[in-house]
Amino acid sequence: MAMTSPGPLEPTRTLTFPSTGGVTLYAEAYLPPRPAPAVALMVHGYAEHCGRYREVANTLVGAGVAVLGYDYRGHGRASGRRGHVEAWSDYHDDLDAALVQARQLAPGKPVILVAHSNGSLISLRALTDPDRRPDVAAAVLSSPFLALRLQVPPAKILLARGMSKVFPAFSQKNALRVEDLTSDHEKQQARIADTLCHDVASARWFTEARDAQAHVRRQAPNITLPTLWVIGGDDPIADPSVSEPLARTVHGAEVHLLRGFKHEVWNERERAHPLGLTGAFVGKVARA
């Protein structure tokens, strides 16, 4: 019998909190009915926000853990210029600030990162940074943005590189199409109607992302904590031919290449499968 997806869950409460540079972040907290043995911190993808992960949150709460999803700078209800970051370390600052809030949901309990796309890149870059590696127990990485499969005109890339040096906040359309995100028509329409999503990318974000990708591709084999990788085999945005073999160099990694799945594996028509993998992995780590 086919698995069914759990549907969205309304947050227990919402909150705002500060990060560096005067930025204010937004978060949604979800609490299970019983004391949680762990906390999952959800890190969303580029050009979107944490509110798109309420179905993932339902899965995680069903696994018995508390959950915090947050909007990092330039996204959703967080402050900051849309689609822009001055330095990749600013995302690490936001992650650190969110970790403080997540730990308050279950003091003294382990934290598990649950990330998608650009959020997976943020998480992996942090996990491979010996100077500021976050104290987390495990990580779930959905369609990690480690290389761009989407075809971008060379002139646009050259412009972004040049403008990153002289006008970092210069932005261009990001060329994301909803049909590249998921084959689920309802999810496509919901994404189009979502006014908290945006459609721009700044020059500095582009160059910082490329540097972060290069770092992760070099250092990923040094990751030692438990990781689950759920990768869209037909992802037209984040190249699975880069992320899947890299994932298999990580010691003890659980890797699933999902044939027929596009970029947002947790929003696909058959999303019950990757959601089930996620819930089972997080539950196992929480009970360890």
Looking at residue 173, its pLDDT comes to: 78
Q: How many CA atoms lie within 13 A of 53 on its CB side?
A: 31
pTM value > 0.75: yes
Q: Mind listing the domains of the chain with CATH numbers?
A: 13-287 (3.40.50.1820)
Contacts of 59 (CB under 8 A, 6+ apart): 6, 275, 276, 278, 279
Q: Is 158 exposed, middle or buried (0-12, 13-18, 19+ CB in 10 A)?
A: exposed
Looking at residue 176, its pLDDT comes to: 83
Judged against a pLDDT cut of 50, whether residue 193 lies above it is answered with yes
Looking at residue 1, its pLDDT comes to: 42
pLDDT tens, residue by residue, 36-85: 999 999 999 999 999 999 999 999 999 999 999 999 999 999 999 999 99
Looking at residue 135, its pLDDT comes to: 97
pLDDT tens, residue by residue, 171-192: 777 778 999 999 999 999 999 9
Looking at residue 64, its pLDDT comes to: 97
Lowest mean pLDDT, pick from 8-12, 57-61, 146-150: 146-150
Separation between Cα atoms, residue 181 and residue 203, nearest integer Å: 22
